[in-house]
Structure 1
Amino acid sequence: MSRVLIVDDEESMRLLVARALAMDGHNVTTASDGAEALEILGGTDGPFDLMLTDIQMPVMDGIALALSAARDFPEVTILLMTGYAEQRERASGLNAIAHDVISKPFSVADIRTAVADALASGKKAQ
């Protein structure tokens, strides 16, 4: 299946999403902030198919991460998530680099569907 990087500063959210995506057979890696995510993306383990990142995080937020990732790793499909309306509005200008913005809270079924849609769209674009 696909390689997915989950980036969220909340450990419980990382674990929930990682378990949900592992149910679909994805190879999941997690990071607790944007700086750690960029290190992982630039690692030697090969490319990721999807990066799912929270928008509001310390160190480097998800929007700064998405901009850096889109520039340095253009093959990665980006999916954003947030629980804040103002963060969703900030992300609205990122349509060119982010597949979608998922609103928290979401169900396991919702995140699995959103990831499947993002991965399908990323494969078409390549």
Structure 2
Amino acid sequence: MARILIADDEEPLRGFISRGLQLDGHTVEAACDGAEALDMLAAPGADYDLLLTDIRMPMMDGIELALAAAKERPDLPILLMTGYADQRERARNLEALIRDVLTKPFSLSDLRAAVHETLLVVTS
């Protein structure tokens, strides 16, 4: 299964996502903002298969994180999440970097489907 890095400033959502993806057999690590996630991506031995990040976060938002992550790991698939229509519009110009944008609130089955589809595309 995949090693997934989650970045979201809402602890309950991080926990929900982590538990849901772990039930599918994935290894999940979580960061509370983009800056922490970028540090985790740059750490020695960091070999993530997917970055799942909220767009709107303090310190470094998900779009800044996606741009920085793409420089460090251009092959890393990125899924964004947002509950704000204006933030979704900001992500429109990032089609070359991101696989999809999940709209909050989403169900566990929506999350699992998006992750599965992204990982399936990457491995095929």
Question: Structure 2 regions of 5+ residues with no counterpart?
Answer: none
* CA–CA separation in structure 2 for the residues paired with 1:44 and 1:2: 18
The Cα shift of 1:103 comes to: 0.1
* Alpha-carbon displacement from aligned partner over 1:42-72 (angstroms, at most 9, x marks no partner): 1123310000000000000000000000111
Count of aligned pairs? 124
Opposite residue 33 of structure 2, the aligned amino acid is D
* CA–CA separation in structure 2 for the residues paired with 1:80 and 1:44: 24
In the TM superposition, what are the counterparts of 1:1-126 in structure 2 within 5 Å?
A: 1-124=1-124
Question: Structure 1 regions of 5+ residues with no counterpart?
Answer: none
The Cα shift of 1:73 comes to: 1.1
Opposite residue 47 of structure 1, the aligned amino acid is D
The Cα shift of 1:74 comes to: 1.4
Kept in 2: contact 1:33–1:58 (CA 8 A): yes
Q: Identity of paired residues, percent?
A: 54
* CA–CA separation in structure 1 for the residues paired with 2:7 and 2:46: 18
* CA–CA separation in structure 1 for the residues paired with 2:22 and 2:35: 24
Q: TM-score, normalised by structure 2?
A: 0.97
The Cα shift of 1:23 comes to: 0.6
Greater mean alpha carbon deviation, residues 7-16 or residues 38-47: 38-47
The Cα shift of 1:120 comes to: 1.1
CA RMSD of aligned residues (A): 0.8
